[in-house]
Chain A
Amino acid sequence: GDSVTQMEGPVTLSEEAFLTINCTYTATGYPSLFWYVQYPGEGLQLLLKATKADDKGSNKGFEATYRKETTSFHLEKGSVQVSDSAVYFCALSYPSGGSNYKLTFGKGTLLTVNP
């Protein structure tokens, strides 16, 4: 079945450091790929997405490129801020029997950014 593997956390960085959170997937077809973020006490928010190979999703300074050859969708940001502290989830969505697009999530990576 489909699955998503994320790097284990927690990740602790200083402000303005470079961030990479690795995500790889296995899928039987051609899924869409997503990064969701969960700030403390809040629900999951869609951060960015990519729907086909070589697409780059970007939002709020975060980027991720859909790499079919390495089945990866790594999240990057050039300069993190304290406000980026959150749990980040990689996910894929794949139509099952043509019905709908349930999300399959990774375990989540806790990012803490210190001033």
Chain B
Amino acid sequence: EPEVTQTPSHQVTQMGQEVILRCVPISNHLYFYWYRQILGQKVEFLVSFYNNEISEKSEIFDDQFSVERPDGSNFTLKIRSTKLEDSAMYFCASSVRQGAGQFFGPGTRLTVL
């Protein structure tokens, strides 16, 4: 069964460093999403992406964040200068069309020291 994959599973970085979280969505899916979950809190929407551009972004997704689909298979989230409060589990998701169920990856745990 096709699945969304994410790498790395755990990333530890120093405050102020740049990190890139990688996702490979399901191959025939067209809509891509990033969510995050700070420990003990809700899963929060960050950004959605379709047709090579951002469809919607939340207030969390400020200028420190960017997304890219550099080729036909990868979907990346970059944080330019990490802060302590960026420590969270980051989930990538994809869907075949709007309104269809979103399929999630296993997440990347980001720890900022």
Q: Interface on A for B, CB 8 Å cutoff? A: 32, 34, 36, 41-46, 49, 51, 89, 91, 93, 95-97, 99-108
Contacts and interface: CB of A to CB of B under 8 A. Distances in A.
B99 interface: yes
Contacts of A108: 42-43
- Which label, helix, strand, loop or mixed, suits the secondary structure of the B interface? strand
A57 B72 CA distance: 34
A95 B106 CA distance: 25
Given A32-B99, A43-B4, A97-B56, A102 B41 contact: no
Interface in B50-92: 50, 55-56, 58, 91
Contacts, number: 63
A100 B56 contact: yes
A46 B101 contact: yes
Contact of B56 (A34, A89, A96): A96
Interface residues of B, number: 27
Contacts of B105: 43
Highest count of chain B CB atoms <10 Å: which of A43, A99, A108: A43
Contact of B106 (A41, A89, A105, A106): A41
Contacts of A44: 43, 91, 93, 104
